[in-house]
């Protein structure tokens, strides 16, 4: 098989691991639906490439309006990618960052981290739990169990979470071996992580409807009918949801 075909196989294999976590999907969806039914917010964060997952459910067509994505430039890649690696290991950074977010017991906090070992994400989870929020983690169990934590407690992210998902990835994330190259290519965490996230959200939306609550969901702003619908939600949450 060619490299791309082997990559397809890798993704399909890892998605089977995701699909075997149905009880966790249903539990997470219940917490999210209960959160939104009680006027809570879904907070979401990730550092490095994992910030993609915060964007995946923020201001997204078919996504909930009450999502607060914590997108800090220093922890992302577009400004200084190598520096973001340094920042995600800094003790105390998460506490300063979260000062501007009124996390409470009504809320759910979803944190994505492939390695689950870096200080910022671990501190975020600890702070969210202290404030009473449910903490849901998406991580690479094989990878995180092969490394030591960089946090002073020695705990990795999945060990703090109220609920964690395994994205099924390889150690190091890349999954395809090529002859003539010592390092694997083809990371899979984005593909599987997005499926985990959207599965939770879709089920939570159905749960809300079954509870008699019409979920506040964005439409596509690039459809003619979606613009007016979205403007109403933006007007309602602008200034409440940071970055909206």
At residue 215 the predicted structure's pLDDT band, cuts being 50, 70 and 90, is: very high
Q: What CA–CA distance (Å, rounded) separates 141 from 122?
A: 15
pLDDT > 90: what percent of the chain?
82
Residue 164: strand pairing partners:
137
pLDDT attached to residue 127: 96
**According to the model, what pLDDT value does residue 115 have?**
93
- Residue 198: count other Cβ atoms within 10 Å of its Cβ: 15
Q: What is residue 107's predicted lDDT score, i.e. its pLDDT?
A: 98
Architecture in CATH for domain 3-237: 3-Layer(aba) Sandwich (3.40)
> Nearest Cα to 43, choosing from 114, 119, 127?
127
Mean of per-residue pLDDT scores for the chain: 94
R_g of the chain computed on alpha carbons: 18
d(CA 244, CA 240) in angstroms, rounded, equals 8
The three-point CA angle 207-208-210 to 5° equals 65
What is the pLDDT at residue 113?
A: 93
pLDDT in tens, 107-132: 999 999 999 999 999 999 999 999 99
Average pLDDT in the 20-24 region? Answer: 98
Looking at the predicted structure, is the pLDDT value of residue 87 above 80?
no
pLDDT value of position 90? 84
pLDDT for residue 161: 97
- CA pseudo-torsion sign 117, 118, 123, 128: negative
Residues 49 and 41: their CA atoms lie apart, in Å, by 23
In sequence order, which residues have a C-beta less than 8 Å from that of residue 22 and are 6 or more positions away? none
Long-range contacts, 210-216 (Cβ 8 Å, 24+): 211/33, 211/37, 213/36, 213/37, 215/36, 215/64, 216/36, 216/64, 216/65, 216/66
Query: Domain limits of the chain?
Result: 3-237
**pLDDT the model gives residue 156:** 96
Please tell me which residue, 220 or 198, carries the higher pLDDT value. 198
Mean pLDDT value across residues 214-240: 91
**pLDDT tens for each residue of 175-194:** 999 999 999 999 999 999 99
Confidence of residue 164 (pLDDT cuts 50, 70, 90): very high
- 126, 137 contact by CB (below 8 A): no
- Predicted local distance difference test score (pLDDT) of residue 79: 79
């Amino acid at each position: 098989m060619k490299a791309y075909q082997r990559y397809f196989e890798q993704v399909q294999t890892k998605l089977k691991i995701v699909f075997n976590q149905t009880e966790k999907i249903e539990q997470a969806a219940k917490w999210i639906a209960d959160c939104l039914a009680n006027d809570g917010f879904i907070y979401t964060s990730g550092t490095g490439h994992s910030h993609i997952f915060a964007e995946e459910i923020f201001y997204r067509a078919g996504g909930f309006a009450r999502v607060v994505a914590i997108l800090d430039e220093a922890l992302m890649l577009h400004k200084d990618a190598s520096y973001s690696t340094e920042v995600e290991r800094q003790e105390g950074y998460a506490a300063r960052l979260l000062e501007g977010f009124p996390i409470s017991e009504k809320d759910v906090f979803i944190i994505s981290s492939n390695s689950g070992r870096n200080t910022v994400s671990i501190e975020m989870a600890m702070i969210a739990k202290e404030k009473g929020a449910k903490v849901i983690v998406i991580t690479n169990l094989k990878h995180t169990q092969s490394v030591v934590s960089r946090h002073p407690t020695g705990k990795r992210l999945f060990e703090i979470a109220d609920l964690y998902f395994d994205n099924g990835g390889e150690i190091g994330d890349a999954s395809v071996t090529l002859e003539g190259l010592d390092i694997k290519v083809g990371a899979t965490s984005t593909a599987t992580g997005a499926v985990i996230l959207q599965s939770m959200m879709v089920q939570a939306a159905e749960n809300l409807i079954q509870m008699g609550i019409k979920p506040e969901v964005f439409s596509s702003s690039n459809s003619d009918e979606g613009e007016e619908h979205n403007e109403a939600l933006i007007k309602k949450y602008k200034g409440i949801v940071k970055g909206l």
